[in-house]
Structure 1
Amino acid sequence: MPTASNAEPRRVTIEPGGPILVDGPVELELPDGTTVCSDRFRVAVCACRRSKRYPFCDTSHRRKVRR
């Protein structure tokens, strides 16, 4: 098992106008000190704070298009 000194770097992808994608699994610490975990292989972290599932993205950042 890798230790902090020899661990593989975690890939983080910033999507313009979208979420921050992090190769999982991840543990996120929220401003109030609580933690949330996801064991998915890729996690979308909300950058716009519009998500009902914050801190995870639910694509609420996408603009609604009227027909």
Structure 2
Amino acid sequence: MTVDPQGPVLVEGPVEIVLDDGTVARSDRFVVAVCTCRRSRTYPWCDTSHRPRERASSPPEDRNPR
């Protein structure tokens, strides 16, 4: 298991997680990213929602058109 303070917990799979309501989430992947911020739309799996989003800026205007 690898813990990233700014992101998910990486766990070698296969993985079974028992959720608060008692349901079990399973993954057979080699490595699983488990969400720790609860922002993920695919909770308990991480979808990188913890990453800060930057707006795409428009290209700078050419002030010396040719």
Shorter-normalised TM-score: what interval? 0.7 to 0.9
Structure 2 CA distance for aligned equivalents of residues 60 and 29 of structure 1 = 21
SS in 2 for 1:18: coil
Deviations 1:9-29 (A, max 9, x none): xxx110121000000001110
Ranges in structure 2 where 5+ consecutive residues have no aligned partner? 58-66
**C-alpha RMSD over aligned residues:** 0.7
2:9 pairs with 1:20: yes
Match of 1:65 among 44, 49, 54: 54
Q: How many pairs align? A: 56
Indicate the residue corresponding to 2:64 in structure 1: none
In the TM superposition, residue 54 of structure 1 has moved relative to its aligned partner by 0.2
Structure 1 CA distance for aligned equivalents of residues 17 and 48 of structure 2 = 19
**Once superposed, which parts of structure 1, at least 4 consecutive aligned residues long, lie more than 3 Å away?**
none
Ranges in structure 1 where 5+ consecutive residues have no aligned partner? 1-11
Give % identity: 62
Deviations 1:9-59 (A, max 9, x none): xxx110121000000001110011000100000000000000000000000
